[in-house]
Amino acid sequence: MGNSWLGRPLFARLILALFVLALTLVGGIVSAQDAPAGVLRIGLPAPVVLDPSLHTNDPETLLNRAIYDYLVEVLPDSTIGPNLATDWTISDDGLTYTFNLRDDVTFHDGSQFTATDVVFTFDRIREAGSPALNILGDGYTVAADGDFTVVFTLPEVNADFLYGLGAPQSLVLKAGTAEPNVIVEGDNPYVNFNGTGPFILESYEPGAGATLVANDAYWTDGLQLSGLQLVFIDDSVAQVDALLSGQLDFIFKVPIAQVDRLADLQGINVLQRSTSQHPVIRLRTDEGHLGADVRVRQAFKYATDREALNDILLQGRGTVGNNDPIAPVFSFFFDSNIQNQTYDPAMACDLLTEAGMNPVEATLYVPEAFEYADMAALLQQQWAAACINVDIQVRTEGYYYDVSNPDNYFDVDLGITGWGARPSPQILLRQAYIESGIETYFNESRFVDPELEALVAEASQTTDQDARRAIYAQVSQIFLERGPIIVPYFAPLFGATSGRVQGLEMAPFVGLTDLRSVSLSG
């Protein structure tokens, strides 16, 4: 169990053999010497949801971000930059956003990009119930003002609206697109993958990989890659093997055990970025489920030694913050005065006795990602001393996060979930910890707290940073007292590239990494 290299050599070799087969199926590369000029080879887990408005994870985002463009960009430093929109103005009352658009952009089919496409995209985002609505809100209207100006009107102030326009799912589609990213029969099976982005999909083999070629008609200069080779492989150890053997150029979400393996190797660059990325250990709080009683939630917090998890799993490289999604990287908003529960197994047992649930017998579900399986094993040991006995069930990442499967992350009583970096704490709060998040499959704990709902709503309309900071201090207190989650640490993001990769700046939400400035040497 876990991502340990020493613990899984046979399995890793099997996965690597399948990986080589996958490379062959998609016209892949088997050595650095055979690598085609200008083609960046990326190893990543297989995407599951391809719809640009509905995808959620990094592999899905990275694929779509290569094919489509955003109206505005969320940059690696969490600021907002122009993209298809050249500039914008916000009305004094904060309710009207006016964007001027580029007039030199075409879709892959050669048709002109105009404001009509932006209107269609954001109407569809609302109609499809896209996760982007957790940031945008669903009350906006959008209208074209001529061919190259678009106007958004909000029913109330939304301090994070620009982040919603740059959300992973806010990729701009061609007006009238009925089935985006649906493969069809015939001579042009990828006709529905029609974006304005820097790369054009050339082939796609589900479960194996994809090839993309550079868009020669792309609207900005400086695109240096001739194409992308995406190789779908879920096992992180096999990804590292493939990088070391010269079959890949870029991998991301590298587990800490593999980082040590890569460090100081000639021809390999290890990438590290501090982020708000974090695992969440969570309990369902709705009636009849494990965390419905606040004393049980508190018991799990006292049963968890977060400092030990950070020291063992991340070798102390993570940051132990509070048991809420307001990460220390959000330095202005992070409340360092919160006194979290310390590891106290006896206190945990006492609380469970009060709740009539001593001992707890439960199943802990965990995705096969990062160091999460190893974390589950450590939690099992820590919790056993605190009157909590768990059986561990590990699921592949694609299976676990697909809500159509049984024992998926959203439905289980007790699970570990990986949350990627967000540019604002408000985005996580709106997505995962208010009632509307239940409908969008993000509020996996089913935590509904009227006081928290009011504070999150207030923060959404608060543009003054000092006032927002005071609101978040109250939010942190609610999570301390009755929150449904344990955040063991906020983890840095690790990736790695071959030595021939130049100009790659890994984004905190790695699927948003901009490949347009990347080049290859040799």
For 324-375, the pLDDT digits (tens) are 999 998 888 999 999 999 999 999 999 999 999 999 999 999 999 888 999 9
The single-letter code of the amino acid at 62 is L
How far, CA to CA in Å, does 69 sit from each of 61, 66, 279? Answer: 11, 8, 29
For 67, residues 6+ apart whose C-beta sits below 8 A from its C-beta are 52, 108, 193, 195, 197, 199, 200, 201, 212
- 72-165: CATH superfamily: Dipeptide-binding Protein; Domain 1 (3.90.76.10)
Fold of 278-486: Dipeptide-binding Protein; domain 3 (3.10.105)
pLDDT value, residue 34:
62
pLDDT over 50 (residue 381): yes
For 151, residues 6+ apart whose C-beta sits below 8 A from its C-beta are 96, 97, 98, 99, 142, 143, 144, 145
Of 443, 476, 446, residue with least CA distance to 459 = 476
Reported as half-sphere exposure (CB side, CA atoms, 13 A), residue 479 has a value of 28
Q: What is the largest CA-CA distance in the chain?
A: 68
**Summary mean pLDDT of the chain:** 91
The arithmetic mean of pLDDT across residues 14-40, rounded, is 53
Q: Which residue has the tokens 């009583």?
A: 413
Check if the beta carbon of residue 126 is closer than 8 Å to that of residue 120. Answer: no
269, two tokens: 């660059």
61, two tokens: 């985002």
CA-to-CA distance for 346 and 329, rounded, in angstroms? 33
Check if the beta carbon of residue 96 is closer than 8 Å to that of residue 151. Answer: yes
**pTM to 2 decimal places:** 0.75
- 9-64+197-274+493-520: CATH superfamily: Periplasmic binding protein-like II (3.40.190.10)
Check if the beta carbon of residue 167 is closer than 8 Å to that of residue 176. Answer: no
State pLDDT tens for residues 180-208. Answer: 999 999 999 999 999 999 999 999 999 99
pLDDT value, residue 28:
38
State pLDDT tens for residues 55-95. Answer: 988 999 999 999 999 999 998 888 899 999 999 999 999 99
Of 331, 247, 351, 248, residue with least CA distance to 291 = 351
State pLDDT tens for residues 140-170. Answer: 999 999 999 999 999 999 999 999 999 999 9
- Asked if omega into 359 is within 30° of 0 (cis), the reply is yes
CA-to-CA distance for 209 and 199, rounded, in angstroms? 15
Check if the beta carbon of residue 22 is closer than 8 Å to that of residue 40. Answer: no
- Extents of the domains making up the chain: 9-64+197-274+493-520, 72-165, 278-486
CA-to-CA distance for 199 and 201, rounded, in angstroms? 7
State pLDDT tens for residues 238-257. Answer: 999 999 999 999 999 898 88
The single-letter code of the amino acid at 366 is V
pLDDT over 60 (residue 4): no
Contacts 24+ apart (CB under 8 A), 136-142: 136/161, 136/164, 136/165, 136/167, 136/170, 137/161, 137/164, 137/460, 142/118
> Which string of b and e fits 450-479 if b means at least 16 CB within 10 Å?
eebeebbeebbebeeeeebbebbbebbbbb
Check if the beta carbon of residue 517 is closer than 8 Å to that of residue 222. Answer: yes
